[in-house]
Amino acid sequence: MKDKAWATYLHAYVKYIEENALTNSSLREQFGAVESSSGSISRLIKDVLNGKLIKPGDTNTAHSLYEIHSNMGLI
């Protein structure tokens, strides 16, 4: 597994423990990326979603939220 994909999953896991969810903004902050890199962060999130490491969270919010898949063995 690629390092950034695994780091994205771990970030989602930490957010889960904090009773929160991964967002583009939270992941940019985690990686120390500027706002103009939100497109590349979105592509990374999409790759991790396609890899079934995370899943869409609450779809009734204005922002996209992502949660971990509970079948990954860490919870």
Most confident of the following: 1-5, 12-16, 51-55, 66-70: 12-16
Q: Between these two residues, 31 and 56, which has the higher pLDDT value? A: 31
Least reliable range by pLDDT among 6-10, 36-40, 63-67: 63-67
> What is the chain's mean pLDDT, rounded?
84
Output the six-digit token pair for 4.
């950034």
Q: What is the pLDDT of residue 75?
A: 45
Task: Pick the closest to residue 41 from 63, 59, 25, 62 (CA basis).
Answer: 25
Residues whose CB is less than 8 angstroms from the CB of residue 34 and which lie 6 or more positions away in sequence, other chains included: 28
The closest of 2, 12, 3, 1 to 74, measured between CA atoms, is 12
